[in-house]
Amino acid sequence: MSESPRRGNVFRYESYETDAAAGLLSCWYSLDGRRFSERFTLSPDGRWDTPAARAAARLVFLLAGVSYYKTAAPPVIDLGAIAVTETERAFLREYYLQGLGEFAYQNGLDLTPLRIEGPAAQAPGPAAAPPRRPPGRGGPRALVPFGGGIDSIVTVEQVRQRADAALFVVSRPGDRFAAIERPAAVTGLPVIRADREIDPQLLRSKDLGFLNGHVPVTGILSAVAVLAAALEGRDTVVMSNEWSASIPTLEDRGRTVNHQYSKSESFEAGFRAVLAGAGAGLPDYFSLLRPRTELWVAERFAALRRYHASFRSCNRAFHIDKALRLDHWCGHCDKCCFIDLILAPFLPVTELERIFAGGDRPASPGSREPLADPAQADRFRALLGTSAGSKPFECVGEVNECRAAALLAARRPDRADSKLLQELAAEVAALPDAPTPAASAAMLRPVGAHFIPPAFASEDLLR
């Protein structure tokens, strides 16, 4: 790979501080003398003075730095005065290398020589391990990061049966995404919020000559969720990352690249080890959907009819520029196509037509179910792995899940006249490794390892 001439020399973690009265965490970084700052505003009424909150704030500082490192991707990260344990150092290196795998691939960079320098800390002894719940305290108090998509909706409906649950939403100051707020309101659960204010220099990346690309944002939000849970006295953060999030997007020169690394089992295991090693009584952290496929999630979501009119997993619903943000499904992004495909086996065609037309709102001009639009054929083929194009760098399901969804949907009587779907299913069926009926059925059963604790381990999830 050819190296970019814009790479820097040293990225440095400068400092961070909390302001309990303002509910504020401020983080400072620098890269070859250019300074960056990031601010998180959470509850000013929270328990900022606890060991758990202090440890969580430090982890937010460590994980949020990746957004600024990538502006010039230097070969050295200097942790400054922040001492880290061996477990933390190994996790951070993996977080940077794997979490920036897509960024490195698209910018033609080799990040593997990366060095993380800084003082070493001793791991807390056994006596400092997180305390167990006292007898008689009651059930878990869970915080569920909520993005408004089918995964987090299914998680919420599972968790609320077993815990005192609240949603967690992160947004820019003064901004709200309707695609999150509308389904959040349907849950009827309390919403705990955090405002994230990135350094404005990042919004001028092109003008300032920064390198740009995908960062492991779910890792940052995971750390913020742990901090929010600690401040609110909640003992568990429940994520909604399913089995397929661990499947690489592509392989490049013997190295895997996973757009969803910070949603993967590998990230989850590493982050859990860091939390456990902090010895500060930090909240538990796990993904409820880890052993399940997107196909299973879609089947469960199909039965949650009260959410069908409010959810909107469309890329254009989350555009940073409000002027470009749509209030309806665009019908032609990779997410729109994937959601249509994965739900098609389980919902009538008329229901999916209604969803993409606007749900309970007036239909938007040009709104159309993606499977009814021949112009989207190539996007579907990329999801199915039947074209020369690679799987999109998006949070979409694994190829065999998509193939099973196409075959199952095409067998529905109400899809007999769906020309595009029938064509796609025929292409999949002709493949030598097309999913058999038995293989498709197996995707509706648990398929992978997980970290789900007994308090949340329902039969519906694990059998």
Q: Is the pLDDT of residue 132 over 80?
A: no
Residue matched to tokens 């940052």: 220
Considering the domain architecture, whether residues 19 and 91 belong to the same structural domain is answered as: yes
Sheet strands (E) in 253-389: 255-257, 284-287
Considering the domain architecture, whether residues 274 and 163 belong to the same structural domain is answered as: yes
Q: Give the pLDDT confidence score for residue 130 in this predicted structure.
A: 41
pTM of the shown model: 0.94
Q: Is residue 72 one of the residues assigned to a domain?
A: yes
Q: 63-67, 109-113, 320-324, 368-372: which has the minimum mean pLDDT?
A: 320-324
Q: Is residue 138 one of the residues assigned to a domain?
A: no
Tens digit of each residue's pLDDT (9 = 90 or more) over 339-377: 999 999 999 999 999 999 876 554 455 568 999 999 999
Please list the alpha-helical segments (H only) found in 108-168: 150-159
Tens digit of each residue's pLDDT (9 = 90 or more) over 303-327: 999 999 999 999 888 888 888 888 8
Considering the domain architecture, whether residues 96 and 238 belong to the same structural domain is answered as: yes
Q: Is residue 135 one of the residues assigned to a domain?
A: no
Backbone angles phi, psi at 238, to 5 degrees: -110, 115
Residue type for position 137: R
Tokens linked to 185:
């309101």
Q: Is the pLDDT of residue 126 over 70?
A: no
Q: How confident is the model at residue 134 (pLDDT cuts 50, 70, 90)?
A: very low
d(CA 351, CA 72): 47
C-beta of residue 238 within 8 angstroms of C-beta of residue 286: yes
**What angle in degrees, to the nearest 10, is found between the helix axes of 334-343 and 399-410?**
50
Considering the domain architecture, whether residues 271 and 354 belong to the same structural domain is answered as: no
Higher-confidence residue of 413 and 133: namely 413
Residue matched to tokens 């900022």: 48
Considering the domain architecture, whether residues 302 and 283 belong to the same structural domain is answered as: no
Q: Is residue 137 one of the residues assigned to a domain?
A: no
List the domain range (segments joined by +) for residue 385. 294-442
Considering the domain architecture, whether residues 187 and 247 belong to the same structural domain is answered as: yes
Of 234, 260, 287, which closes a domain? 287
User: Counting runs of H as helices and runs of E as strands, what totals does the chain give?
Assistant: 17, 12
Considering the domain architecture, whether residues 321 and 345 belong to the same structural domain is answered as: yes
Of 287, 313, 335, which closes a domain? 287
Number of domains in the chain: 2
C-beta of residue 73 within 8 angstroms of C-beta of residue 211: yes
Q: Is residue 463 one of the residues assigned to a domain?
A: no
Considering the domain architecture, whether residues 330 and 254 belong to the same structural domain is answered as: no
CA dihedral 353, 359, 362, 367 (to 10 degrees): -40
Q: Is residue 73 one of the residues assigned to a domain?
A: yes
Strands 250-252 and 115-117 come out as unpaired
Tens digit of each residue's pLDDT (9 = 90 or more) over 198-245: 999 999 999 999 999 999 999 999 999 999 999 999 999 999 999 999
Q: Give the pLDDT confidence score for residue 359 in this predicted structure.
A: 60
Q: Is residue 162 one of the residues assigned to a domain?
A: yes
Backbone angles phi, psi at 6, to 5 degrees: -90, 5
User: DSSP 3-state assignment of 89?
Assistant: helix
Q: Is the pLDDT of residue 136 over 60?
A: no
Considering the domain architecture, whether residues 76 and 215 belong to the same structural domain is answered as: yes
Of 265, 287, 309, which closes a domain? 287
Number of residues in the chain: 463
How many beta carbons lie within 10 A of that of residue 204, not counting itself? 11
Considering the domain architecture, whether residues 402 and 278 belong to the same structural domain is answered as: no
Q: At a CB cut-off of 8 Å and minimum separation 6, what does 46 contact?
A: 20, 23, 53, 228, 230, 231, 232
d(CA 262, CA 293): 17
**Kind and range of the H or E element at 350?**
helix 349-357
Considering the domain architecture, whether residues 252 and 381 belong to the same structural domain is answered as: no
d(CA 264, CA 420): 32
Residue matched to tokens 């469309």: 314
Taking the CA of residue 236 as centre, how many other CA atoms within 13 Å lie in the half-sphere pointing to its CB?
Answer: 25
Q: 31-40, 66-75, 242-251, 345-354: which has the minimum mean pLDDT?
A: 242-251
Please list the alpha-helical segments (H only) found in 72-119: 86-99, 101-107
Q: Is residue 165 one of the residues assigned to a domain?
A: yes
Q: For the chain, give the percent of residues with pLDDT over 70.
A: 94
User: DSSP 3-state assignment of 140?
Assistant: coil
Listed residue (80, 104, 79, 107) closest to 92, CA to CA: 79
Considering the domain architecture, whether residues 185 and 318 belong to the same structural domain is answered as: no
